Structure 1
Amino acid sequence: MRRLRNDLPYAFRPPKPRAWFRPLGLLANRLYLQRKYAVNRLDDSGFDRVKELSRAGHAVLLAPNHADHSDPHVVTELIARHDMKSHFMAAREVFEVSKLGAFALESMGVYSVDRDGPDLSAIKTSITLLEKSSDPLVIYPEGEIYHHHERLDPLHEGVASILLKAAARMNGGKEAFLVPVGIRFHHDAAVEATFRDRLSRLEDRIGWTPRPALSIDERIVRLGTGLLGLKEMEHTGENGRGRIQDRLTSLCDALLSAAEGRHGRDPKSVTAPERVRAQRYRIRKRLLDAEKPPTAVERDELLDDLDRVFTALQAHSYIGDYFLAEQTLDRRAETIMKLEEDLLGFPNYPTPRTARVTAGEPIPVSKMLAAGELFAKGGATPLTALLEARLAALLA
């Protein structure tokens, strides 16, 4: 999860698949997986069924969990492994890194979405792709990267809503299927030898004297609690008390409530991620107001509010009992990676990892609509609940 201080106007980037570019894109994707993200092994199951549905001309929407920066590269590689092409919905920010990167993404069938507002272009593109194409469409229903592979964050209903709308427009025997995809990463045992030095760097980053003599687990908890205390002091003026999870929740709510007091609250936004998106939308709308531009002082305050909202999402993204409940090698590695991203800007991948990806049983959305098990209007909530249950089971 990276800091988003985005005050740039948004322009939709459509998919522009280029056949000549695909071999280059797949090669670059494979190199990224191995050299940047240290994913040296990729095991999969269930994708034969996805291929069967795609070859039969049906609409297939793949909905993976999203806990690692390499997830899109993993799924791209798997789809190519099974001799399929694909389309991806990706956050606008990845298109804004560089012009060359944006060109490469478009050429591989990726299109942008503004996660903070009603991006009608992205929604219409998704529906059209499902209606007209049988290549799998990949959308991540969690929306953000949280670095905990064994826990699922609440899903957005946008994925279900898009597929229901597309299903209502299909004819000629074409059916819509929603496929949960569980992605788990497993670290090589050699990663344990990297923990002490990486934790020392993180301790030094916040001004602490590194304590390599302490146990790894004690250092992780100590560092996480210390970072939480720093954020509490920065934003509330005092350290919280009680359980870590309660303190995280309180900090998140305090920051969002403060922003909502200045910019208004969307009554439909209930969960922390929904409230964050609503505030980012309102803040950016004011920042980009061409008719009545904000003053220099107001602009600085708006940008500060974007930082506060980002910190709220950071607090929400830490599950207080995730590491405390079970200190496995993978959970240690994931927690340290998350701390690295928050303190250093990007996580490290110092040793090989294995990605295990399972495509679950496809949910026959068209058949469920025809049988009255789902309804075109109001069906997004139960369909999202079903997807969430299926995804959670794949990660267990």
Structure 2
Amino acid sequence: MRELPQDRPYRFRPPVDRPWLNPLLRWVNRRVFLKWVYNVEAIECHGIEALRSAMDAGDAVVLAPNHADHADVHVLSEVTARIGIRPRFMGAREIFEAGALNSFALQSGGVFSVDRDGADIAAIKMALSILEEGKYPLVIYPEGEIYHHHEWLDPLHDGLASILLKVARKLPAPRRARIFPIAFRFEYDGAVRETFPERIAALEKTINWSPKEDLPMVERLYCLGPALLAAKEMEFFGETEAGTLAERLERLRERLLEDVESRHGKDARAETVPERVRGLRSRIRRALLDPEKKPSPSERARMLDDIRRIHVAYQVYSYPGVYLAEDPDDHRIAETLMKLEEDLLGKATYPVARRARIVFGEPIDVTALLESGALPQKGGALELTALLEDKLGTMVRGGEPQGLSAAERPVIVSAEA
């Protein structure tokens, strides 16, 4: 989980159409990001024909993928481009703040910013206008973060459902409002196994360990995890905890969040860890950037340290402690190593070729649910989110989505084509 700047004023960035730039952007996406950066050599795509039909009908379409990997945005851009569709993406504000060139490319590629920690009215208005127009599908990642365990789905935020319901209730017939659940999975070439020893040795050296070459790979990871956790426990609280790995992860996360909440308060409505994190970041950002009551240097240092504590708590939340143990195959080992590299070394590695599988599930017809009374005419965001979570969760776990035959011939494309 990447640590991003949290002390900059927010400015909304809308998507900007630059048709003359599209061929270059697509070439860069395919040859630079997919092939070179993320090592995706092929894409297997199922069920995309239904998206083409919905867009031809002028429907208000939201694409709701699981956020499996940093490459999934690039994969989705490639497969939709091949059927003549250019989605609009809602992207976290922080990715625009990496520099002017980065922001220019993102906006030209159809991405607009959203402040995930606040009530971003500009982003909501942009999302509503895209859906009302019906010219582009809107991509919103309902998990909100990349947790790097693509065979598990994390709890979904209800913002996607709230936005689409507002449009669905005033959409003129015969147009429909639809959500497409989309499941991503990335599979590694068998050669990835040969990269494991060198990569975990580099991680072990970050804590001044000699490589434990006599141990099996999964055992090495489960030795490294508690050691890294103990270092964080000592750093923040001066003591190590007892218990299983999962218990210690939860305890550290809670201690960090409760410590920061003791200084900045807690939203009574925030129940999940992501909700608590967003609320805390929002309150601290407001205090950091308050023009009428600028914090002193010591207050600023304290708030920046609190933001770091929140980030570590969120990192800890992204390690469930049992994901690898549940099914320690090469794919989960590679995914765990990649996640540790990103968190400890600052950059994930993709040393061997990967294959992306993307499945477009049967769309959820929100208009029909409203007409039938299955969703109430007011509210309904929680119910719709639960329905999406159930369908997308089944797909992510490997089940065939309703309406898609297991024998359906996939569309397989090369990332180089």
* Range into which the TM-score falls when normalised by the shorter chain: over 0.9
Matching residue of 1:22? 22
1:167 Cα offset (Å): 1.1
Judge conservation of contact 1:263–1:282 (CA < 8 Å) in 2. yes
1:105 Cα offset (Å): 1.1
The range that moved more, 127-136 or 152-161, is 127-136
Deviations 1:339-388 (A, max 9, x none): 10110011100000000000111000011111111124321101111111
Q: Classify the secondary structure of the residue corresponding to 1:207.
A: coil
1:22 Cα offset (Å): 1.1
Judge conservation of contact 2:61–2:134 (CA < 8 Å) in 1. no
Deviations 1:147-168 (A, max 9, x none): 0010011110001111111112
- What are the within-5 Å matches in structure 2 for residues 133-152 of structure 1? 133-152=134-153
Give the Cα–Cα distance (whole angstroms) in 1 for the partners of residues 112 and 68 of structure 2: 20
- What are the within-5 Å matches in structure 2 for residues 177-216 of structure 1? 177-216=178-217
- Using the size of structure 2 for normalisation, the TM-score is 0.93
1:134 Cα offset (Å): 3.2
Matching residue of 2:370? 369
Judge conservation of contact 2:183–2:359 (CA < 8 Å) in 1. yes
Deviations 1:171-203 (A, max 9, x none): 142110011000000000001100000001001
Give the Cα–Cα distance (whole angstroms) in 1 for the partners of residues 16 and 219 of structure 2: 50
Deviations 1:74-103 (A, max 9, x none): 111111122212100011111111211211
Large movers: runs of 4+ above 3 Å:
none
Matching residue of 2:240? 239
Pair 1:235–1:377, CA change in 2 (3 A): farther
Amino acid at match of 1:80: A
Residue 113 of structure 1 pairs with residue 117 of structure 2 = no
Give the Cα–Cα distance (whole angstroms) in 2 for the partners of residues 127 and 336 of structure 1: 39
Judge conservation of contact 1:5–1:303 (CA < 8 Å) in 2. no
Matching residue of 1:40? 41
- What are the within-5 Å matches in structure 2 for residues 343-358 of structure 1? 343-358=344-359
Amino acid at match of 1:145: I
- What are the within-5 Å matches in structure 2 for residues 319-330 of structure 1? 319-330=320-331
Give the Cα–Cα distance (whole angstroms) in 1 for the partners of residues 321 and 13 of structure 2: 37
Matching residue of 1:266? 267
- What are the within-5 Å matches in structure 2 for residues 1-396 of structure 1? 1-31=1-31, 32-396=33-397
The range that moved more, 141-150 or 90-99, is 90-99
Judge conservation of contact 1:13–1:111 (CA < 8 Å) in 2. yes
Judge conservation of contact 1:89–1:111 (CA < 8 Å) in 2. yes
Q: Classify the secondary structure of the residue corresponding to 1:320.
A: coil
Amino acid at match of 2:338: M
Q: Classify the secondary structure of the residue corresponding to 1:20.
A: helix
- Consecutive unaligned residues of structure 2, counting only runs of 5 or more, are 398-417
Q: Classify the secondary structure of the residue corresponding to 2:20.
A: coil
Q: Classify the secondary structure of the residue corresponding to 2:323.
A: helix
The range that moved more, 277-286 or 164-173, is 164-173
Give the Cα–Cα distance (whole angstroms) in 1 for the partners of residues 81 and 221 of structure 2: 38
Judge conservation of contact 1:194–1:350 (CA < 8 Å) in 2. yes
Amino acid at match of 2:229: L
1:59 Cα offset (Å): 1.0
- Using the size of structure 1 for normalisation, the TM-score is 0.98
Q: Classify the secondary structure of the residue corresponding to 1:240.
A: coil
Deviations 1:295-325 (A, max 9, x none): 0000000000000000000010001110011
Judge conservation of contact 1:5–1:307 (CA < 8 Å) in 2. no
Amino acid at match of 1:73: H
Judge conservation of contact 1:95–1:101 (CA < 8 Å) in 2. yes
Deviations 1:115-160 (A, max 9, x none): 1111111111101100112321111001111000100111100011
Q: Identical aligned pairs, as a percentage?
A: 49
Judge conservation of contact 2:185–2:358 (CA < 8 Å) in 1. yes
Give the Cα–Cα distance (whole angstroms) in 1 for the partners of residues 156 and 214 of structure 2: 41
Judge conservation of contact 1:224–1:339 (CA < 8 Å) in 2. no
Give the Cα–Cα distance (whole angstroms) in 2 for the partners of residues 328 and 118 of structure 1: 41
Give the Cα–Cα distance (whole angstroms) in 1 for the partners of residues 129 and 207 of structure 2: 49
Amino acid at match of 2:366: V
Amino acid at match of 1:124: K
The range that moved more, 43-52 or 369-378, is 369-378
Give the Cα–Cα distance (whole angstroms) in 1 for the partners of residues 379 and 231 of structure 2: 43
Q: Classify the secondary structure of the residue corresponding to 1:361.
A: coil
The range that moved more, 235-244 or 265-274, is 235-244
Judge conservation of contact 2:5–2:94 (CA < 8 Å) in 1. no
1:238 Cα offset (Å): 1.4
1:5 Cα offset (Å): 3.6
- Equivalenced residue count is 396
Give the Cα–Cα distance (whole angstroms) in 2 for the partners of residues 187 and 111 of structure 1: 31
1:71 Cα offset (Å): 1.2
1:4 Cα offset (Å): 2.7
Deviations 1:31-70 (A, max 9, x none): 2111000011100101100111011111110000002111
1:212 Cα offset (Å): 2.0
Judge conservation of contact 1:62–1:137 (CA < 8 Å) in 2. yes
Q: Classify the secondary structure of the residue corresponding to 2:19.
A: coil
Amino acid at match of 2:228: L
Amino acid at match of 1:136: P
1:236 Cα offset (Å): 2.0
Amino acid at match of 1:75: L
Amino acid at match of 1:25: L
